[in-house]
Amino acid sequence: MTIAVTAAKDEAPVFYEVEEHAHAEGDSTALGFWIYLMSDCLIFAMLFATFGVLGGNFAAGPAPKDLFDLPLVALNTSMLLLSSITYGFAMLAVDQGRLRQTQVWLAVTGVFGLAFLGIELFEFAHMIHEGATPQRSAFLSSFFTLVGTHGLHVTFGIIWLVTLMVQIGQRGLIPANRRRLMCLSMFWHFLDVIWIGVFTFVYLMGMLR
């Protein structure tokens, strides 16, 4: 790139050659997505902190021991962990350039994700049926907010996954689709890590209260 600089009004401009730095394609996408994940970490950190403060305020209402079904929550956890494994298989298929296998593993991942959401909605419906609504106590308000926010992220992840399956079917494993799959991979595994924190901090430690 050439830049013209004029020292005075009547002087001829002086030209300088400026060497541009090369940027790998997709670098800005990866950086932007990492920034998004860090902001999401802050959101969940605040929700965990809120639950830590309010999680023991039952307002003479039901406590975790009265509401939580640990075998059901463990089954739900296994659904999400298995979805993370199958997404890993999808990324291996991407590296090998196998379009069909990629689509199959993404579909299996979506099924596990839907199973996770189905079990979570069943748990919410059962709690509300028992009168354990978000407005019943500070504990339930913070619980529904934290777990519901995670579930909302999983919902958006599944929508993103289906969208990518359509794009891959139309355009194949082009570099842009590979970058999108990598970003979704980071997002999906991030949700797994958050859920492990929820399972430990909310459910397991809640049963010890």
Domains, the chain, ordered by start: 56-207 (1.20.120.80)
**8 A C-beta contact, residue 47 and residue 146:** yes
Higher pLDDT, 135 or 11: 135
pTM of the model: 0.85
Helix (H) and strand (E) counts for the chain? 7, 2
Candidates 148, 145, 120, 134; CA nearest to 50 is 145
Give exposure, 122-142, as e/b (b: 16+ Cβ within 10 Å): ebbeebeeeebebebbbbbbb
Burial class of residue 66 (count of CB atoms within 10 Å of its CB; 0-12, 13-18, 19+) = exposed
Instruction: Band the pLDDT of 27: cuts 50, 70, 90.
Output: low
Q: How far apart are CA 74 and CA 71, in angstroms?
A: 5
- pLDDT for the residue 72: 96
Whether residue 63 is predicted with pLDDT greater than 80 in this model: the reply is yes
Candidates 184, 209, 208, 192; CA nearest to 44 is 192
Tokens of 15: 């030209």
- pLDDT for the residue 126: 95
| 122-181 per-position pLDDT tens digit | 999 999 999 999 999 999 999 999 999 999 999 999 999 999 999 999 999 999 999 999
Q: How far apart are CA 16 and CA 41, in angstroms?
A: 45
Instruction: Band the pLDDT of 30: cuts 50, 70, 90.
Output: confident
Tokens of 150: 């995670």
Q: How far apart are CA 171 and CA 178, in angstroms?
A: 11
Amino acid symbol at 118: G
- pLDDT for the residue 43: 96
Averaged pLDDT, 91-99: 96
